[in-house]
Structure 1
């Protein structure tokens, strides 16, 4: 029999909002719009792969404080273009700045959600106060939630910028408890990142649901593990 919870916390990117699908759609448009083949990036698919690999590495560094928001925001596409084999003397600072600007504007306004998101949120919203805890940047997370029509399901959105701490550090969870009136013992955290979401919540004393749609192998201790969001309805 599952434990009874009073408060439900979700991660946003990769858990509810489908970052990969949304980013890919925008990048494919920008590949054509900015004629990336003309600066030496001859494979659109390889460019997409290089984006995800480089971006994931940068976010991992950001989450543990090795780089800051300014570096991530302003150097990301330079590193991605280099990895993708661009002829960098054809890529001006203004070109990269405009590419980055359009990506940051367009991506948060995409609306693809992980399979089952609306069905699950509709069901849980009737039973629990629900909140978001995210390391994503303050100014874009609200766009993602409003454009994809999921903002109405959540009472509070706790960002790392607002809290002054990133997941997996205890400070962001402590901030979330104080701001929402929740407590760790009666709360559950749902997310896709074993370190930021799962280990962070576990170390803080919260139960966790590891959302693992690809079935990746791991050795982390988790309270629950699911591959589809609809499985949450068997837990909560």
Structure 2
């Protein structure tokens, strides 16, 4: 039976794709960058590629912040200052707190049932803290772990070891819950921590999560069944 739930933020509790789209549009409007309909998807691919490099320890967070816009500039052919774009984008993103419909009812139910909730997020501290404050999610969590505050990202074992050490929890009573195979699931498996993969897009994997769910609404019934 699990008592400590480590929950990912983006793609699990918050709709990052929509937040990214809105922040990108606001940044482009602010800086008067003449983007077109294809631009958000080009940027999203550049951003994802940079986060993968960050997870692998190939980029610092400062390098990531700039590189995603230099890549976007090269691939889009648009002319702008990548540093200004990065600063404006992160400022707008820090206010994009778009929750999935299931998030608040689920977190309320889990807390009411006595689960200890901890947030485990790869992200830029001021951006994630801003979004948590805007959404009022902080109140649900005993601890908030953000990669730039810890100094290492998921899936680095140091991230997971820090969470276990800080909470003082028995690993057998803990489970990592998230949508990312490369950061949430791989990281948990590397430290022999049980994990629940949120697979909303019917993806395939050679990894072996402890459990798999296809929507956030399946999490509470799954946890209930594990109690039996």
Instruction: Give the Cα–Cα distance (whole angstroms) in 1 for the partners of residues 208 and 106 of structure 2.
Output: 24
Structure 1 residue aligned with 2:55: 63
Give the TM-score of the pair, scaled to structure 1.
0.88
Question: Do structure 1's residue 104 and structure 2's residue 90 form an aligned pair?
Answer: yes
CA displacement at 1:102 relative to structure 2: 1.6
For 1:82, the equivalent position in structure 2 comes to 74
Shift of 1:75: 2.6
Counterparts of 1:33 and 1:157, CA distance in 2: 31
Does residue 1:5 correspond to 2:2, yes or no?
yes
Local SS of the residue matching 1:188: strand
Q: Distance in 2 between matches of 1:175 and 1:9?
A: 12
Aligned residue number for residue 182 of structure 1: 169
Matched residue, 2:31? 34
The runs of 5 or more residues in structure 1 that have no matched partner are: none
Contact residue 17 and residue 144 of structure 1 kept, 8 A? no
**Is 1:16 the equivalent of 2:3?**
no
Instruction: Give the counterpart of 2:42 among 19, 29, 50.
Output: 50
Contact 1:184-1:204 within 8 A present in 2 as well = no
Deviation of 1:213 (Å): 1.3
TM-score, length of structure 2 as denominator length: 0.91
**Superposed CA offset, 1:56-113 (max 9, x none):** 0000001111111121112321211221221x4xx3x3xx333222211111211211
Match in the other structure for 2:181: 194
Q: What is the alpha-carbon distance in structure 2 between the residues aligned to residue 198 and residue 105 of structure 1?
A: 29
Which segment is superposed worse, 158-167 or 140-149? 158-167
SS of the residue corresponding to residue 94 of structure 2 reads helix
Structure showing greater Rg? 1
Q: CA deviation at 1:140?
A: 2.0
After superposition, the Cα gap between the structure-2 partners of 1:25 and 1:164, relative to the gap in structure 1 and judged at 3 Å, is closer
RMSD: 1.5
**Gaps spanning 5+ residues in structure 2: where?**
224-228
